[in-house]
Chains A and B, each alone.
Chain A
Amino acid sequence: MKQQKIGSWIAIIVGTLYFIVPLIGTFEFSLRMRRGEYSFDAYRVVFADPKFQETFSYSTLMALLTIVVGVLIVVPTSYWIQLRLPKLRPVVEFITLMPLVIPAIVIVFGYLRLYNTSSIVPLTASARSTDLLLVFSYVALALPYMYRAVDTGMRAIDVRVLTEAAENLGAKWPTILFKVILPNVRVAILSGAFLTFATVIGEFTMASLLNRPAFGPYLQLIGANRAYEPSALAVIAFLVTWACMGLINVVGRGKQIKAAP
């Protein structure tokens, strides 16, 4: 029993070191910009760079739009599958997993072939329409996370019975969806939203190949030309991702108590 405990602790310590040591190394390196002493100069440079603000704002906007479009597509789909088409679940699950299997570079080349300027839907013809294409491609990219989060939430409540109970009391579809179902899967939607945000904020391939001023390509550019700033940016990107994960936990914990059956 005691040996088992020691084994568990060793596994935890090794695992923690595996993840923490590179982070500490990166953080430590990011503080070395000033010769002979630690400073936050690299962070100051990064935050002062208008390109950082511009690309980070752009990616944040793209992430928020991705979340909105993703929720509008995934929530009704998951609801309908749960309620009326449970046999289609494996098919939809397979489709939502495809972005994990197909490399992003393949998807984006597919987009470029389909939506180039000489196609019927020339989405790459202008900057705004390319932004739209980027949002759609991010929706596809984040689909595995958003769908799974929402689907898990839908399974946790008895969607069918709640729908029938509301319908029996005279409610119509919009009321059922917005007053009964959505409030009860809000935590799941938020989880999906934060995961989507974390995925989109540092995405490189699609933004770069569609030539959009996103945070991912900016990270790559800085990484190729500077020494300390990329480490600072890597730490910032980690913090953003961690903040998203933390928010999932905080929001999830708070609402779970309320929604427990």
Chain B
Amino acid sequence: MSFLDISDVRKNYGQQTVVQKFDLDVERGEFVSFLGPSGCGKTTTLRMVAGFEIPSAGAIRIDGKDITGLRPNQRNVGMVFQSYALFPNMTVADNVAFGLKIAKKPAAEIKARVEEMLKIIKLPHLGERFPYQLSGGQQQRVALARALAIKPQVLLLDEPLSALDAKIRVSLREEIRSLQRSLGITTIYVTHDQEEALSMSDRIVVMNEGRVEQIGTPFEIYNNPKTRFVASFVGTLNILKGNVADPAAGKVLIDGQEVFAAKRIGHLQAGEACAVALRPEAATLHQTALQEAAKVASAFAKESGPRNRMVGTIEEVNFLGSVVRIRVRFQDNAISLDTFNNPNATPPARGSQVTVSFGREDLLVLEGAEG
């Protein structure tokens, strides 16, 4: 039985449904991220777990106990807010101690717990400071300590890093993850930053327009997106439009060139329009003239088994430092791919003919033409 069970939850505001049919089982100690664009319902779902919103339908259980109707102060759920929400009139120590004082813990226990928490967040010397005397990163750590001090059953984090600068964000997300692992606390993390979700989570729930698009490990979400939305939202993705040529063989025609998917295309008929997706890192660029493409293809076949190849023209070359991003146009479709910067070789010129190759297993045929 799962530790946190969100079962068939729905949330309406008047006629508008903002979360629909949300089902999720979270294991004890698991780190699950809700990932999606603004307005997709991820924060509303988190707030329903916290008790700030009451579901219009469905149930939420923690450790088997139905908490759907409980007030936020009866749930024993810790929450970290995007804007820190530290109490400005209290010192750091008083902020961390707040929940413990409410729970009427003995003074000695409160003092010990506050010291422990400040040590955990690596701010043991800042207990007497006020929130305005701390940096954003320090404030968010205090908010984390305050949420954890009450030993909640579930920790909820609502975009806790979005107000911080990029460097602090990276270091703090590592700290949050390692703290979560060491405490073994069940955690729900809301973010619209795919990198955060991919790097921190045991599992990711990708949401769009109030619906769950896909639930899976970061590896599954990135490599096997189930819908076009997931494919395009998580990571950079090239979407190519074509027509199914032979569903059984997984053959698709894109701008008159044949490519093959590793699996048969079961859900589409021959001649039907379809969309295929390709990650930029899956494609390799060969600065080969058109007439030599056939030689390259046979070389591929010998060296690395059957690979797809498409011939196109370099449309754009963007030098980004360690990486060079190149856009290759076929006819109606174009793909972007990244190559590492090689100081000994100049990047290909715009307008030159090239061959792009990619493995059959890298080609994802999305569900329907619109995915």
Contact = CB atoms under 8 A, between A and B. Distances in A.
B79 A261 contact: no
A98 interface: no
A183 B89 contact: yes
A166 B87 contact: yes
B327 interface: no
Contact of A171 (B77, B83, B85, B102): B102
A216 B156 CA distance: 58
Interface in A167-191: 167-172, 175, 180, 183-184
Give the residue among A157, A170, A180, A183 with the most B Cβ atoms within 10 A. A170
Contacts of B86: 165
Given A259-B132, A261-B131, A261-B132, A172 B85 contact: no
Nearest to A169: B99
B88 A168 contact: no
A28 interface: no
A184 B88 contact: yes
A169 B97 CA distance: 10
B99 A158 contact: no
Contacts of A162: 85, 87
Indicate the size class of the contact surface on chain A.
Answer: 20 to 34
A158 B83 CA distance: 9
Contacts of A93: none
A72 interface: no
Given A164-B72, A258-B132, A261-B132, A170 B150 contact: yes
Contacts of B88: 157, 184, 258-261
Q: Which of the four size classes fits the interface of chain B?
A: 20 to 34
A258 B88 CA distance: 8
Interface in B189-246: none
Given A164-B72, A183-B89, A261-B132, A170 B83 contact: no
Contacts of A168: 50-51, 72-73, 77-79, 147
A74 B82 CA distance: 29
A165 B102 contact: no
A175 B79 CA distance: 18
B150 A169 contact: yes
A165 B146 CA distance: 10
Most buried by B among A161, A162, A168: A168
A107 to B, nearest CB: 37
A124 to B, nearest CB: 43
A166 B85 CA distance: 9
A258 B89 contact: yes
Given A164-B52, A168-B72, A259 B150 contact: no
B370 to A, nearest CB: 38
Interface of A: 157-158, 161-162, 164-172, 175, 180, 183-184, 258-261
Interface of B: 50-52, 71-73, 77-79, 81, 83, 85-89, 98-99, 102-103, 130-132, 146-147, 150
Given A169-B98, A170-B103, A258-B132, 7 more contacts: A161-B83, A164-B72, A166-B87, A172-B73, A180-B87, A184-B88, A258-B89
